[in-house]
Amino acid sequence: MSDLDSVRRFDDRVDDYDRHRPGYPAKVAEIVTRAGAAVEGVSVPHADTPGARRPLVVADVGCGTGKLAEILLTAGMRVIGVEPNTSMRASAAHVLGDAPLFAQVAGTAERTGLSDACVDVVTAGQAFHWFDVEAARREFARILRPGGRVVLVWNSRTRRDGHACTPFLREYEALLCRHVDEYARLSSRSHGLENVERFFARGELEPVCLENPQHLDWDTFAGRVRSSSYVPRGGPVFDALLRDVRQSFRMYAVDGRVDASLQTWVFAGHVARID
């Protein structure tokens, strides 16, 4: 990932991240499966690949606490979680460590520590905006087998038109902009497509948008607020933000829950090999 701060900033947020961050629609696993279908010898469910011999091997880069890895494992894939943060790896090991097809390495997008041509698909869930685009593209091209692809996944509160998905989330976006100075900078990195298009330069790109319904109680949404890297842990800024978010929550809640539905963006494509 692009800098040391992007690794350490989650040290004190792992529990909230694991418990309260959203997962991904099951259809993401189908997209990853299709992405690996062209690699020789892969066993792909529902694909016309007679004589297939082995499960899909995925490097999940920026694995975190295993949100994306979990649905890939459920779909029968072999997953190598690549994650630089020690606490995040420990959390993923606690949740997924008994899964026989799961392994972990301490690595980054730019230096995974994996061998040449050892995986069929590289995935990244909610992590791409931390990567050095050119260095990650070279590394992913190196570790992919011929025919392999990269699948980038992230949940977004904001649609392509720039508006938040629900009235409550529009209010939350406004509160983040009001209270958190760092939010605008990191948000532009997360939502922009320029780096995605540059990452897949000279390669095909297949974007898919999936609905990800979310109806949350206060404790869960407050945990999501605390899990965000740009939200201070305590102090007057955090207190003011949480106070205003709680007021907004009460305004929009129905039977103690708000509609905080997201969109899940999935970008699958080949990356050019750079010699």
Give the domain extent around 87: 1-156+193-213+262-275
pTM of the predicted model, to two decimals?
Answer: 0.89
**140/17 same-domain check:** yes
DSSP sequence for 51-103: T--EE-EEEEET-TTSHHHHHHHHTT-EEEEE---HHHHHHHHHHHTT-TTEE
**Residue among 80, 73, 39, 62 at smallest CA distance from 190:** 62
**60/124 same-domain check:** yes
- Structure confidence by residue, pLDDT tens digits, 142-179: 999 999 999 999 999 988 677 889 999 999 999 999 99
**169/142 same-domain check:** no
Q: How far is CA 154 from CA 9, 128, 134, 199, 236, in A?
A: 19, 8, 20, 15, 30
**172/230 same-domain check:** yes
Size of the chain, expressed as the number of residues it contains = 275
- Structure confidence by residue, pLDDT tens digits, 25-62: 999 999 999 999 878 777 655 444 555 568 999 999 99
